[in-house]
């Protein structure tokens, strides 16, 4: 399961064509106060962000899905040197604690704490409504916007 599976890019070749790419990119246009656009509204930005975490498309974010995303985000940023350190910690922790990886344990704690804080109805997962509630004070309009160059003709 990958992030792109939720965006109907299923051409069976794991590729994104230009039109699909632009449709996703449109969600990152800044919101103009005098001109609403269906793709870059606050709700659409929240739907997009939610769907990035809802890997199986069941309309909920589970701890396992959140952990997968955390691993994708952090794993891509680990240098070979950091990996060697983490690997050494893994071996030491396996001998001392009998657990797999302190690093994985920390990500697991982050995922558990995130679910615990956002899960209003205590069902062990985050619904879209709970996600929106957790993001109420976040400046989504600014944080999920990319300023594009405008050419004057």
Interval 112-144: pLDDT, tens? 999 999 999 999 999 999 999 999 998 888 888
| Residues 69, 61: Cα–Cα separation, whole Å | 11
Residues of the chain with pLDDT > 90, as a percent, come to 29
Helices (H) and strands (E) in the chain, counts: 7, 2
Exposure string for 22-56, b = 16+ CB within 10 A, e = fewer: eeeeebebebeeeeeeeebeeebbbbbbbbbbbbe
Architecture of domain 3-143: Orthogonal Bundle (1.10)
| Residues 21, 3: Cα–Cα separation, whole Å | 14
What pTM was estimated for this model as a whole?
Answer: 0.69
| Residues 119, 134: Cα–Cα separation, whole Å | 9
Tokens 């800044």 belong to which residue?
30
SS in 3 state form for 65-105?
HHHHHHHHHHHCCCCHHHHHHHHHHHHHHHHHCCCCCHHHH
Interval 72-109: pLDDT, tens? 887 656 666 666 665 565 555 555 544 444 556 678 88
């Amino acid at each position: 399961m990958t992030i792109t599976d939720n965006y109907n890019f299923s051409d069976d070749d794991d590729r994104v064509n230009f039109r699909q790419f632009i449709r996703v990119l449109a969600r990152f246009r800044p919101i103009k106060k005098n001109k609403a656009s269906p793709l870059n509204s606050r709700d659409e930005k929240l739907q997009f962000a939610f769907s990035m975490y809802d890997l199986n498309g069941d309309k909920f974010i589970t701890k396992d899905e959140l952990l997968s995303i955390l691993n994708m985000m952090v794993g891509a940023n680990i240098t070979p040197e950091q990996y060697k350190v983490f690997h050494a910690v893994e071996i030491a922790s396996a001998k001392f604690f009998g657990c797999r990886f302190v690093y994985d344990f920390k990500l697991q704690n982050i995922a558990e704490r995130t679910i615990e804080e956002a899960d209003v109805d205590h069902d062990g997962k985050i619904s879209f409504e709970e996600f929106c509630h957790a993001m109420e004070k976040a400046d989504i309009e600014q944080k999920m916007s990319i300023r594009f160059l405008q050419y004057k003709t």
